[in-house]
Amino acid sequence: MTQQNDPKLTPQFEDALVYAARIHALQKRKGTTIPYISHLLAVTALVLESGGDADEAIAALLHDAAEDQGGRARLEDIRRRFGDRVAEIVAGCTDTFDEPRPPWLERKMAYIRHIPEASQAVRRVALADKLHNVRCILTDFRAIGNKVFERFNADKRSELDYYRSLVSAFRASDGNGLLLQLDRAVSDLELAVRSDTP
């Protein structure tokens, strides 16, 4: 962990924290009883620890708000409350605004294609999001084995391929300090699954 900047967290960060806690209040992590806010806090910590600025930290708190809690209307509310840059980062971390959602593979392939052209801020928040997701999958795989993959909309191989493809996409766009951690976490998950020894 390195101190790269002073993000000078403002009262707007506190407002975003309360906003995120309220809109995700009833949401749990997939297949668990863990409050969803735990993921948002973990992603925000990773963003701050990797040198993210105040807008990136706010966007980390809100990165799933539009996708999971209101679509484009939610995104416009975020824009009004927290500004254009935060809204653009949230939009860049959203794999669809459509309801019903397109098929899983279509959404994920579009997301992967978008990463190399994404801004550095979007890549930082997206990397932190994917890193926390993979770490959680690995932890749960070690506890409950292949049952962890029953939580998702795709099979185990597709999930692993998706995360490996994300590593390649982030690498193509130079990523940031979180890329090595994501690559290592994906490799650890692949090895655990291959060994089939949770």
Does residue 185 form part of some domain? yes
Does residue 19 form part of some domain? yes
CB atoms within 10 A of CB 112: 17
Domain hosting 52: range is 11-195
Residue 197's pLDDT band, with cuts at 50, 70 and 90, is low
186-189, Cβ contacts within 8 angstroms, sequence gap of 24 or more: 186/134, 186/160, 188/138, 189/134, 189/137, 189/138, 189/141, 189/160, 189/163
Amino acid 196: pLDDT: 78
Amino acid 100: pLDDT: 86
Does residue 2 form part of some domain? no
Does residue 114 form part of some domain? yes
Q: Which CATH number does the domain housing residue 124 bear?
A: 1.10.3210.10
Give per-residue pLDDT as tens, 103-130: 999 999 999 999 999 999 999 999 999 9
User: Which amino acid, residue 4?
Assistant: Q
Does residue 126 form part of some domain? yes
Alpha helices in the chain (DSSP H): 11-23, 37-49, 54-62, 65-68, 71-82, 84-92, 104-114, 120-144, 156-172, 178-195
What is the count of structural domains for the chain? Answer: 1
Does residue 1 form part of some domain? no
More confident residue, 10 or 22: 22
Give per-residue pLDDT as tens, 141-171: 999 999 999 999 899 999 999 999 999 999 9
Whether residue 2 is predicted with pLDDT greater than 50 in this model: the reply is: no
Give per-residue pLDDT as tens, 35-45: 999 999 999 99
Amino acid 158: pLDDT: 95
Q: What is the pTM of this model?
A: 0.92
Does residue 34 form part of some domain? yes
Residue recorded with tokens 């890193």? 131
Does residue 51 form part of some domain? yes
- 3-class DSSP state of 33: coil
Please list, residue by residue across 40-64, b when 16 or more beta carbons sit within 10 angstroms of its beta carbon and e when fewer do: bbbbbbbbbebbbbbbbbbbbbbbb
Residue 97's nearest CA partner among 115, 72, 122, 117 is 72
Amino acid 183: pLDDT: 96
Residue 56 in tokens: 């990136």
